[in-house]
Chain A
């Protein structure tokens, strides 16, 4: 069953997890450039990591049966670098990813994920390696992420995570959704319009 897209306050996420190993995985690898030419993001989920998957002929983490339905991705350093295209987080989200944990993220990628309600949290290299090993030991285990505690646990082992304050506040209050914020106060927009000469016959 397809999960719903993120909505409102994001305080906890639970589900199965898997890893994509490697530093500097860029947006072109996450979603190859040729998929830019599309009229809707809807089909992007199937194309995530398309070229890597083709190369691995069904053995890529995004193809393995036991990862179907998983929603937590554990990555390494500088994930999402390269072009600023939003297709990359869109593709991950539409495949089903709801939370990404890694050593670090490219700034624009981080922002684009946040704007979709997908938290990207960080931990030290040592902690990430530990988490990746734990995750890979047993694909069936469930992981629990709590924003307030900034940690993820399988109820035996717990890994502490990091998130900048601005992003933390936006997720915990549901204010990560830019569109709804902009629609909050229509009166103020109307007021701005009323003061713009070129929208008022230069009166």
Chain B
């Protein structure tokens, strides 16, 4: 059993009591809601005649269903409009702060909450969305919950939870030029498997992790869930504090120093015990791309599609399915594979530094003929800052579309969808069959810089070719 880890410390602070079934009642410090998983929770609350216990600890935004080309109300999709209107009403009725359409703080929930300084070290963060693990980048325990748990948090600000085991993933060395946080997490999931983290919280640590910016750290923790770990976290340090300082909800004045010293005390002790430890060398990681239908099916840009027969037994079937679905042949290189659509955005890679890195690749080039490429900033704030830096212009000039913030083609619940057998180069986090809106559409996951390179060449490209120029 783990002890002395950040996970243990934060868990202990939030423990309310042991429940009869053997699980723990855990207090939730920050509850984030959006239009897709909250409406049923509110109606369940009404059915039970319950109210929202601590409305000031729940914060709402709208992201999944928003159109990214025209955000005029009412939305053209009546169902999307209904979902948004329902959330607006629920927030008004229960006194919950809503960062809606038209607000300059609206955005993908896992992008906007950190921007507002809502996410802080030592909190428990819950949201009806599996990528809530993102907030662990700040040294919080953050995890996705189902609809009935959203109801429970609204009703009681707490949840019935079982404590997870803790696995430390130590990444030594330094990421090479052209290798980003996204490559690192795809590499980790490839090696530990999509179910490898089930029952675990992942602590990401080591020199390669410490050198990452907060945005890079969010990319890592965001995809912990794709490796099966319901939450992933990074110990808070000066990088964390610098990011939070001055944000709207950050502690101010004399509180700031006290906050920092509490935050520091939460980091895993040097003598902490972990249930499991794994070491990786960050310097040897190359730009990584998924070729299949799970985020674990990644290879480096220089590798070829694996031969299913040569894989471990338990991976063979899914690899065969993937080859068939993706229409890829074993031993064929991934580099040079033609693509149709390029998507830069999502809560994994829709932040300012993501757009900035991608724009460096794009600058002075144009999107290859026949390729549809678009950028969807993760939030209004990202969009605004990118415009101030002229990043939107670089993309527009190259032939990209520049859209309004939202989840967009990460899951295609809005009008942005793949069509037919189209194949996308995407900076998002899931490459499941049909994920991007077409039942037989295909997705290659990669870093935003790699997506940019793919857009220019019209095929999967080693981004490092662009960095040598």
Q: What are the residues of chain B within 8 A of A185 when measuring CB–CB?
A: 16-17
Contact status A198-B160, CB under 8 Å: no
B106 at the interface (CB under 8 A from A): no
Instruction: Report chain A residues within 8 Å CB of B13.
Output: 195-196
- A197 at the binding interface (Cβ < 8 Å): yes
A163 beta carbon closer than 8 Å to chain B:
no
- Quick one: which of A5, A116, A179, A183 has the most chain B CB within 10 A? A179
Interface flag for B283 (CB, 8 Å): no
Q: When the two chains form their complex, are residues A197 and B259 in contact, meaning their CB atoms are under 8 A apart?
A: yes
Number of interface residues of A (CB under 8 A): 38
The residues of B that contact A5 with a CB separation of less than 8 Å are 47
The yes or no answer to A134 lying at the interface (CB within 8 A) is: no
Knowing A182-B158, A197-B122 are in contact, say whether A41-B43 is a contact too (CB < 8 A).
Answer: yes
How far, in whole Å, are A197 and B44 apart by their CA atoms in the complex? 32
Of A37, A86, A178, the residue contacting B152 (CB under 8 A) is A178
Question: B22 to chain A: which residues have CB within 8 Å?
Answer: 166
Q: Are B40 and A181 in contact (CB under 8 A)?
A: no
| Most B-side CB within 10 Å, residue of A39, A116, A179 | A39
Q: How far is the CB of B184 from chain A (nearest CB, A)?
A: 27
Among listed A10-18, A125-133, A153-161, A186-194, interface-contacting one: A186-194
Would you call B148 and A86 a contact (CB within 8 A)? yes
- Residue pair A198, B20 in contact (C-beta under 8 Å): no
Contact of A84 with B146 in the complex, beta carbons under 8 Å: yes
B255 touches A201 (CB 8 A): yes
Q: A41-B40, A192-B27 are in contact. Are A202 and B258 (CB under 8 A)?
A: yes
Docked pose: A26 CA to B133 CA in angstroms: 26
Restricting to B1-57, which residues have a CB under 8 Å from any CB of A? 13-17, 19-22, 25, 27, 29, 36, 39-40, 43-44, 47-48, 50
A20 close to B (CB within 8 Å)? no
Do B160 and A178 touch across chains, with their CB atoms under 8 A apart? yes
Q: Which chain A positions have C-beta within 8 A of B86?
A: 39
Q: In the complex, what residue of chain A is closest to B149 when comparing beta carbons?
A: A178
| Tally of A-B Cβ pairs under 8 angstroms | 104
Taking the nearest CB of chain B, how far is it from the CB of A94, in angstroms? 11
The smallest beta-carbon distance between B37 and chain A, in angstroms, is 9
In contact, A183 and B146 (Cβ under 8 angstroms): no
Write the nearest CB–CB distance from A174 to chain B, whole angstroms: 11
Contact residue range for chain B?
35 or more
Given known contacts A196-B13, A197-B259, A198-B123, A40 and B39 CB-to-CB distance under 8 angstroms:
yes
Contacting residues, chain B, for A37 (C-beta < 8 A): 36, 65, 79, 83, 413
A182 interface neighbour in B29, B155, B251, B259, Cβ under 8 Å: B155
Q: A22 → chain B, closest Cβ, in Å?
A: 21
Task: Determine whether A170 belongs to the interface, using a CB cutoff of 8 Å to chain B.
Answer: yes
Which single member of B19, B44, B50, B122 contacts A198 (CB below 8 Å)? B122
Q: How far is the CA of A166 from the CA of B151 in the complex (A)?
A: 23
Name the B residues within 8 Å of A169 (CB-CB): 20-21
Interface centre among B25, B39, B413 (most CB of A within 10 A): B25
Q: Quick check: B155 and A86 within 8 Å, CB to CB? A: no
Contacts of A175 in B (CB 8 A): 20-21
A92 to chain B, nearest CB (A): 15
Contact A203 B258 (CB under 8 A): yes
Q: Quick one: closest B residue to A193, CB to CB?
A: B27
Chain B nearest CB, measured from A140 CB (Å): 32
Contact between A115 and B39 (Cβ–Cβ < 8 Å)?
Answer: no
Picked from B25, B48, B83, B160, the residue with its CB within 8 Å of the CB of A39 is B83
A residues 16-68 near B (Cβ < 8 Å) are: 36-42
Interface code B140-163, partner A: CB below 8 Å = 1, 0 otherwise? Answer: 000000111001100111111000
> Which of B14, B21, B47, B146 meets A170, CB within 8 Å?
B21
Give which listed residue, A41, A179, A192, A202, contacts B50 with CB less than 8 A.
A179
**A170: which B residues are within 8 A, CB to CB?**
20-21
Asked if residues A39 and B156 are in contact (CB atoms below 8 Å), the reply is no
Judge whether B290 is part of the interface by a CB distance below 8 angstroms.
no
A78 on interface, CB distance cutoff 8 Å? no
Chain A residues contacting B39 (CB-CB under 8 Å) are: 38-40
Residue in B closest to A199 when the chains form the complex, CB atoms: B29
* Minimum CB distance partner of A195 in chain B: B13
Judge if A112 is at the interface, Cβ distance under 8 Å.
yes
Interchain CA distance A188-B24 in the complex, whole Å: 13
Give the nearest-CB partner of B43 in chain A: A40
Quote the shortest CB–CB distance from B294 to chain A (angstroms): 14
Complex CA distance for A192 and B14, rounded to whole angstroms: 6
Note all chain A residues with C-beta closer than 8 A to B259. Answer: 197-198, 202
Decide: A178 and B148 in contact? CB cutoff 8 A.
yes
Nearest-CB residue, chain A, relative to B251: A202
Please state if A112 and B21 are interface contacts (CB–CB under 8 Å).
Answer: no
In the bound complex, residues from chain A placing their C-beta under 8 Å from that of B148 are 86, 112, 115-116, 178
Instruction: A117 to B434: give the CA distance in the assembly, Å.
Output: 33
A116 to B148, CA, bound (A): 9
B104 part of interface (Cβ distance < 8 Å)? no
Contact code string B41-78 (vs A, CB < 8 Å = 1, else 0)? 00110011010000000000000010000000000000
- Interchain Cβ contacts under 8 Å between A and B, 5 examples: A37-B65, A115-B148, A170-B21, A181-B19, A196-B13
Given A112-B146, A182-B152, A202-B259; 16 other pairs, CB 8 A cutoff: A37-B36, A37-B65, A38-B40, A41-B43, A115-B148, A175-B21, A178-B160, A182-B156, A182-B159, A182-B160, A188-B25, A189-B157, A189-B158, A192-B14, A192-B15, A193-B27
Q: Which residues of B are interface residues toward A (Cβ below 8 A)?
A: 13-17, 19-22, 25, 27, 29, 36, 39-40, 43-44, 47-48, 50, 65, 79, 82-83, 86, 120, 122-123, 146-148, 151-152, 155-160, 251, 255, 258-259, 262, 413
Give the 5 A-B residue pairs with the shortest CB-CB distance, closest first. A39-B39, A202-B258, A182-B156, A40-B43, A39-B86
Binding site for B on A (CB under 8 A): 5, 36-42, 84-86, 90, 112, 115-116, 166, 169-170, 173, 175, 178-179, 181-183, 185, 188-189, 192-193, 195-199, 201-203
